[in-house]
A and B are shown apart, each in its own frame.
Chain A
Amino acid sequence: GQSLEQPSEVTAVEGAIVQINCTYQTSGFYGLSWYQQHDGGAPTFLSYNALDGLEETGRFSSFLSRSDSYGYLLLQELQMKDSASYFCAAGGANAGKSTFGDGTTLTVKP
């Protein structure tokens, strides 16, 4: 089976940097994805790591360490609109299955 752990809540101020960690236990791990979901909206894809290392996409970066079964999402220059839930998701080797973490609610304060 697969399980992922991430913090339930994180609070930061505008302009700051925040890191959301995700540890996973999976069989046949394939890669780690990150999604953002605003209240009332659908999850939207942010980033994907299949290999160890850092992936950068604008203000957002994601990191993966397979040996540590660990990844994180780094959000820089926080804006109010970044207040949302963030989910890490692990794909199995089958890749037909995707298990999501329970989500981290990020609150950005002025």
Chain B
Amino acid sequence: DTAVSQTPKYLVTQMGNDKSIKCEQNLGHDTMYWYKQDSKKFLKIMFSYNNKELIINETVPNRFSPKSPDKAHLNLHINSLELGDSAVYFCASAWRGGGEQFFGPGTRLTVL
């Protein structure tokens, strides 16, 4: 069984569109994250949720809206997509206070 899964794996879309990425973890972790990795491979945290509550929001444009229906799921909705949103988005999960994060396979978003 996959520990952290994301869908879709690839997403190609036009500027101005709205899209969502879904993430699920079956590890029972209480904390989930979204990261953005740009073309230079810099890995930046976007959001962190603990037991469905937002605990970190790292100066991300409000076009990005995370939603956690339960502690096993953390979805990312992006409105009005821009060229600069093109990147690989990783979901991850962990125990809060633990040093080990488990990453999903990533979603490669390309905005044309």
- A48 close to B104 (CB less than 8 A): no
User: Which residues on B sit within 8 Å (CB–CB) of A31?
Assistant: 99
- B11 close to chain A: CB less than 8 A: no
- A97 close to chain B: CB less than 8 A: yes
- B106 close to chain A: CB less than 8 A: yes
Interface size class of B (residues with CB under 8 A): 20 to 34
* Interface 9-residue window, one of A15-23, A39-47, A75-83: A39-47
- B77 close to chain A: CB less than 8 A: no
- B41 close to A97 (CB less than 8 A): no
- A13 close to chain B: CB less than 8 A: no
What is the distance, in angstroms, from A61's C-beta to the closest C-beta of chain B? Answer: 15
User: Which residues on A sit within 8 Å (CB–CB) of B40?
Assistant: 102
